[in-house]
Structure 1
Amino acid sequence: MEPSPTIQKERFTRGSLAGLLAGILATLIMLLLSLTIGGVSLPEALGSAIAQALPLPLFDYLHQTLGGDAKHYLFYIVLVGQCLVFALFGGLCNLLVDRLNFGQWRDQQGDLDYSVGLLLAFILWLFTGLIFLPLTGSGVFGSQLSTGVMSTMLSLAITGVVYGVLFIFMHNWLLWRTLKAVANPDMDAELLTKQAQRRAFLRNGVVFVGLSALGVAAWRFIVGNAGSGAVANPQIQNSLLDKYQAKITPPPVPNYGELHTVKGLSPEITSNSSFYGVSKNLSSDPTVDGTSWKLTIDGQVEHPFTMSYKELTAIPTHQQYETLMCISNEVGGEYMSNALWEGITLKDLLQKAGAIKPGATKVVLYAADNYSDSIHLSKALEPTTMVAVKMNGETLPSAHGYPARLLVPGIYGMKHVKWINRIEVVNTDYKGYWQQNGWSDPAPVKMTSRIDTPIFGAKLSANKPTYIAGVAFSGNKGIGQVDVSTDGGKNWQKATLKRPLSAITWVLWEIPWQPQAGNHDILVRAIDLQGNVQTPQLAAPLPDGSSGYHTITVTAN
């Protein structure tokens, strides 16, 4: 006899609640396995697939609105979605046990046998490995993931068993509470009240999370647009464009000098902990075991080979100061840092593989997190293109690419591949992870300059001496001059430059200033050693880097 609609509804509701509670715990186990044994993270796999599938205009909008945190919001949304899917599976399972005549798996009181949970775990394991992961581009049982098939199968099995067992436990516990309330009429009304309160709490919680997410997005949008950035005043912008001269001849002679200790100015060398970090990963970056790590160099070379970390670090190294900047950096943004790096030139490593075959055009870098990108062969053979193993005198931190990462001056940070495990010389026009999403492939750094101090909206003392200071960077072309305007671009003053640590680092600059009472629009622009002038033309980061003059407004009283 088929259960009545009321009983079916009760069973679906109970199964869904049990599935949700078990799913939350199983999800935590999945994330723990991902961090400890390198197991698969389904939210990571799905989130990455969604990010790659987003239309470019939508991707650009989300990036500009939420900044670098957009991928974290996406991860949390997918994480919540996974828990809801677990709830749905629980509700359907509690219905199908009866519809498929599996009545022997439910006793007279309605308790489910634990064999149901194990069967559910097996079904979820097969569904995830054979259908879900392939749909995300991860391959059958994660064959295309860095975790590997065996690790994926094991972590999915553990997660599934945890979910199945907890689902049965939660279901039977909820059923026991219901039967206990029915047996004691005095408790029935109390139970119904508590159930209604729980449903209201969950509903209000979902609404709160949703409104909070919208609030954060709105706040980031307002702050991001009302804070620092490129010139937004149309009158000032039009004047800058009308007067813009792309190149000056002869190139400027740098005005080097000693800088004062200005509070708020970026340190010349960024500490490892403060160095910016960006990756494609939504939740966690890979943790690579250096003792088992191997670096393979192959492709269009005469003698492909593989080497261990010990063999790599035994090769004589050299040091270079270099500044990195992310292509997603907004005008005046913080995704730019400078460090002392130590490693082996990529040219030397390629030479160990023998002659490069005719027709080779690019070098592809593969990473432990399935990230990949490419650089032109000519760029790979430049003396400053390096496979780095140390950063600021320390072993390369995990967050910055341990055991080894690429450094390729003059182009944006997405090409500076971290966690490298393979270098392949190819004769094709290989497109990397971000290029498939529409970002620039050549990705040359656009000249930029930033005001570090004072900050946007600062209140200054009128007629009291102070300093305006910041940094400027042009990739591998050097900085010859930095100009600062305190009147919206009408007049410009040359800043004093600190002699850079190398030709591929940023330059620190400052000017003394004694502001008059009132509001002041402060702008900065840079000129490289070849005489090229930073463009005032406004551009968003997508697809080939932002541009425009960093501008702040301050008030002197």
Structure 2
Amino acid sequence: MGTPSTPSLSPLPSGGERFKRGALAGLLAGILASLIMLLLSLTIGSTSLPEALGSSIAQTLPLPIFSYLHDLLGVDAKRYLFAIILIGQCLVFALFGGLCNLFVDRLKFGQWRDEQGDLSYSTGLTLSGILWLFSGLIFLPLTGSGVFGSQLPTGVSSTMASLALTGIAFGLIFILIHNWLVWRSLRLNNAAGDSETAAMLAEKQAQRRSLIRNGLVVLGLGTFGVAAWRFIVSSSGLGSGSSAADPQLQGTLIQNYQAKISPPPVPEYGTLSTVKGLTPEVTANTNFYTVSKNFVSDPTVNGQTWKLTVDGQITQPFTMTYNEIAAMPMHSQTETMMCISNEVGGNYMSNAKWDGIALKDLLQRAGSIKPGATKVVLYAADGYSDSIHLSKALEPTTMVALRMNGVTLPNNHGYPARLLVPGIYGMKHVKWIERIEVVNTDYQGYWQQNGWSDPAPIKMTSRIDTPANGAQISANQPTYIAGIAFASNKGISQVDVSMDSGQHWQKALLKKPLSDLTWVLWEVPWQPKAGSHQIVVRAIDLQGNVQSPLSAAPLPNGSSGYHTIKVTAN
């Protein structure tokens, strides 16, 4: 039996060929290294370079550009940004790989490449070290994260370790792929005498290159296409989250608008029918909406070592463990929460029962509040922060919650502790709280620095859950129009529904809410005639204030307008 032949030596390829080979190996190794980085971020909360850059970009974007992107892409804007940054990171890895392979032969110290053209593993480790230093000393400081992430919640040690692990993985994988490409090229050259084999190998090589190139093109076009599709959908007609944007309808609604009814309507409560498609009164924890500043992973906090510090403009600062706080007298409240970025008719609104301690009780434990104090700042484990006015902090319904719907607060909802502040949007309901500070300054939080409202009072809203926008329904058959209405801590007294584009209104039957802080479920029986129908809904709070028909985008004060859908009865 013969022994496998070793490909014969060939002249070192040209600089352009070396760069392409190194770039291809760098790209493939970079994709795998990026996946490792994301896996570490998701599992142990380590530093993610794309997330650091994404957060930096989000905070430094001028408000007009931020507003345009939010209107264009909605709450998914940060996902698109993260995808673009991730692709960019892989291309940077490709650049490093190409430059490494191009210049390694010009370095005279050490054995970097053998006679076959293979790169040594010491080359990969050296490249890892260069990337590690570049990330820690140049890239992260440029994003405002500090040297080796000194300004990040993960800290310097964790950042150095995770970057080192990612860098070593990239270096070793890069060498493996590069050397495989070298030997593959040598085998191709040795087969040059066999024209059929050479042609076959050349064709396969071209196919693989084409596949990689086309894959990157498809990925880029796919990202652009999703963004364009979202733009087209948001710009055409009335979607499930549309306000009354039709000029004629808008004019009718504004012309007949009465801002306040005095005396306020008396709520008409009753038992609702079982209407398919109507939102459950209490939202399951797994279905409760989640929004955070984080692009990939939220923090995972160890409740056994976690401590809550209360300090600032108070006379007796203190620190408590989770067990100490959990032993304090708790109360329950059912409260609906809504994100400030929620569109008219949107789904970023949920309702749950919460258990916790009134924030005023924690502040009273800290002694007296010093004169001049104006705000309370909440600091989170992920570096997020926001503030509420002191008067709001002292309201009995402002709570530090430890439980949600009868179970320990889930991690993605802020375990071990989160804030609940009825009356204002969800960005103020800080999750993963680590510190509460009473201040005498006008502290501006993470989203306020991006141009969002600081007072952030919730605007009254109502939504049609069923039928769905664009639905085909049976003509002359009994059915129901149903949905929810929410006026934060002001309560709902009446919901009106119009089936003829705002010309006439019909009162809906309300289900008595679980508390003064929750949404209400409503329904209207309907027997539609054949044809197209435009359905509009509006709400009135317990003080007689009527929901505004004026359409407004979420940025900076929250969306407004009447949710409107179109259905066809056949």
Fold-level similarity (TM above 0.5): yes
Aligned match for 2:546, one of 525, 533, 542: 533
CA positional deviation for 1:64: 2.8
Please give the secondary structure, in 1, of the residue aligned with 2:111.
helix
SS of residue paired to 1:323? strand
Query: In structure 2, how many angstroms separate the alpha carbons of the residues matched to 1:104 and 1:463?
Result: 85
- Say which of 365, 372, 386 aligns to 1:352: 365
Displacement of 1:504 in angstroms is 0.8
* Cα distance, 1:291 vs structure 2: 1.2
One-letter amino acid of the structure 1 residue matched with residue 330 of structure 2: T
User: Does the aligned pair in 2 maintain the 1:38–1:151 contact within 8 Å?
Assistant: no
Q: Does 1:279 align with 2:286?
A: no
Q: Which residue of 2 aligns with 1:391?
A: 404
Query: Take 1:206 and 1:29, find their aligned partners in 2: how far apart are those partners?
Result: 20
Tell me which residue corresponds to 1:236: 249
Alignment partner, residue 208 of structure 1:
218
Partner residue of 1:196 out of 199, 206, 223: 206
For residues 317 and 163 of structure 1, the distance between their equivalents in structure 2, rounded to whole angstroms, comes to 50
Counterpart of 1:220?
Answer: 230
Task: State whether structure 2 residue 473 is matched by structure 1 residue 463.
Answer: no
> Is the Cα contact below 8 Å between 2:47 and 2:163 reproduced in 1?
yes
Determine if the alignment matches structure 1 residue 105 to structure 2 residue 112. Answer: yes
Aligned-residue sequence identity (percent) comes to 73
**Deviation of the 1:6 alpha carbon:** 6.2
Runs of 4+ in 1 over 6 A off after TM superposition: none
With structure 1 as the length reference, what TM-score do the two structures score?
A: 0.97
> SS where residue 530 of structure 1 aligns?
coil
Can you list the C-alpha shifts for 1:327-358, whole angstroms capped at 9, x where unaligned?
Answer: 00000101111110000011111111111111
Match in the other structure for 1:117: 124
More displaced stretch, 290-299 vs 217-226: 217-226
Whether 2:499 is the aligned partner of 1:492: answer no
Task: Report the Cα offset of residue 309 of structure 1.
Answer: 1.1
Which amino acid in structure 2 is aligned with residue 15 of structure 1?
G
Q: Distance in 2 between matches of 1:5 and 1:533?
A: 78
Query: Which segment drifts farther, 207-216 or 417-426?
Result: 207-216
Shift of 1:266: 0.8
**Could you tell me how far apart the structure 1 residues matched to 2:24 and 2:520 are?**
58
Q: Distance in 2 between matches of 1:548 and 1:102?
A: 70
The answer on 1:304 being equivalent to 2:317 is yes
Q: Return the alpha-carbon distance in structure 2 between the equivalents of residues 65 and 497 of structure 1.
A: 35
| 1:60 pairs with one of 27, 49, 67 | 67
Count of equivalent residues: 555
2:446 counterpart residue number: 433
Partner of 1:140: 147
Further displaced range: 107-116 or 293-302: 107-116
SS in 1 for 2:14: helix
Cα distance, 1:181 vs. partner? Answer: 2.1
**Most deviating of 245-254 and 95-104:** 95-104
Residue 473 of structure 1 deviates from its aligned partner by 0.5
Question: What secondary structure does 1:452 align onto?
Answer: strand
The answer on whether the counterparts of 2:42 and 2:296 sit within 8 Å (CA) in structure 1 is no
Map 1:354-373 to 2 at 5 A: 354-373=367-386
- Residue 508, structure 1, aligned to residue 518, structure 2: no
Which of 158, 162, 165 lines up with 1:151 in the alignment?
158
Paired residue secondary structure (2:153): coil
1:8 maps to 2:8: no
Which residue of the partner structure matches residue 86 of structure 1?
A: 93
Farther-moved stretch of structure 1 (183-192 vs 318-327):
183-192
CA contact (8 A) 2:258 2:546 kept: yes
- Out of 89, 96, 109, the position equivalent to 2:103 is 96
Provide TM-score, normalisation by structure 2: 0.94
In structure 2, how many angstroms separate the alpha carbons of the residues matched to 1:270 and 1:459? 28
| Separation in 1, partners of 2:502, 2:563 | 11
Partner-residue secondary structure (3-state), 1:476 = helix
CA distance in 2, matches of 1:214, 1:177: 35
Shift of 1:69: 2.1
* Unpaired runs of at least 5, structure 2: 1-10
Write the letter of the residue equivalent to 2:290: G
Tell me the CA shift for residue 407 of structure 1. 0.2
Instruction: Please give the per-residue CA displacement for 1:13-38, whole angstroms capped at 9, x wherever unaligned.
Output: 11111111221221122122222332
Change beyond 3 A, Cα 1:103–1:149: closer
Alignment map for 1:474-485 (pairs within 5 Å): 474-485=487-498
* Residue 333 in structure 1 maps to residue 343 in structure 2: no
1:41 to 28, 40, 48: 48
2:536 is matched with which residue?
A: 523
The partner residue of 2:464 within 451, 464, 474 is 451
Q: Do the aligned residues in 2 keep the contact of 1:97 with 1:103 (CA within 8 Å)?
A: no
Deviation at 1:102, TM superposition (A): 4.2
Deviations 1:518-545 (A, max 9, x none): 1111111111111111000010000000
Report the Cα offset of residue 250 of structure 1.
1.0
Supply the distance in 2 between the matched residues of 1:455 and 1:181 (Cα, whole angstroms): 60
User: Shift of the alpha carbon at 1:129?
Assistant: 0.6
1:70-122 Cα offsets, whole Å, 9 max, x none, are: 22222122111111111100111112212333473222222222111111111
